[in-house]
Amino acid sequence: MTDKYAVIGNPIGHSKSPIIHAAFARQTNQDISYEAILAPLDDFEATVKDLIAQGYKGVNVTVPFKFVAFDICDSLSVRVKSAGANAVNTLVNINGSIHGDNTDGIGLRSDIEKNLGFEIAGKHILILGAGGAAYGISNSLIGVKSITIANRTLVNAQALEIVMRFSHNDVQSKIFERLDRSYDLIINATSAGLTDAALPIPSMIFGKNSLAYDMMYGRETPFMAQARAAGAQVADGLGMLVEQAAEAFYIWRNVRPDTQPVIHMVRALQMEKS
């Protein structure tokens, strides 16, 4: 019998997750289906519980539902608990009970270190944004030199700073306009790229040896263009998307797929459409 899975978001039409999980299933000989589902902004919980009632084995969660997904979980992974994060992106149906996990952090670090060859340990990190995506990666930055969280609203950055201080010594928060130095790794964890909105950030944050990493994927964002113009190395989040999907697939199926051919496949499909 085919096991059913889905990704839920709003918007969701841009999602590559169904293609990725179909590729993983073929590669590992798993009998699954995986679909993208648009959930009403005010009815995420009902959407998930309806899928659970239909027998779906698991659900991925994307923008803007990672916080509310955390709230509806009956249990949480050690990874989520230890990070102090209040956002999840992977739900598991355990006999009708909802178990939450977050694979964003391991997906980010795997892509940056394994695929891009950029060592995170010992680096000065800047995270742009303090929403669900930023919380999701907070547990992946162990061993860094320092972390700065920048956001439009300072109180939201400070809330994430409090969480991150449980596992990091040197953490500070600022509003975008107060950034005044360069960083080794700049991670755009905002959703500004979905609307082509530019962030009010100074170009001085990008050094010649910096990696500017946008968690969005699919097209060149204003953040990426600004970083490229400043001479920084630039990457989008497509590799992270595949790596975090692989971790979710492993959680659901207990089989770890090879991500490299899938990254190349999705990148090629993306280039065909551009």
- Catalytic residue positions, numbered: 66
Cα distances (Å, whole numbers) of residue 70 to 19, 61, 135 = 25, 10, 11
Q: Cβ neighbours of residue 235 under 8 Å, at least 6 residues apart? A: 111, 112, 116, 211, 212, 213, 214
Cα distances (Å, whole numbers) of residue 18 to 32, 148, 165 = 11, 34, 36
Phi, psi (deg, nearest 5) at residue 10: -160, 100
Rounded to whole angstroms, the Cα distance separating 91 from 73 reads 8
**Helix (H), strand (E) at residue 265:** helix 260-273
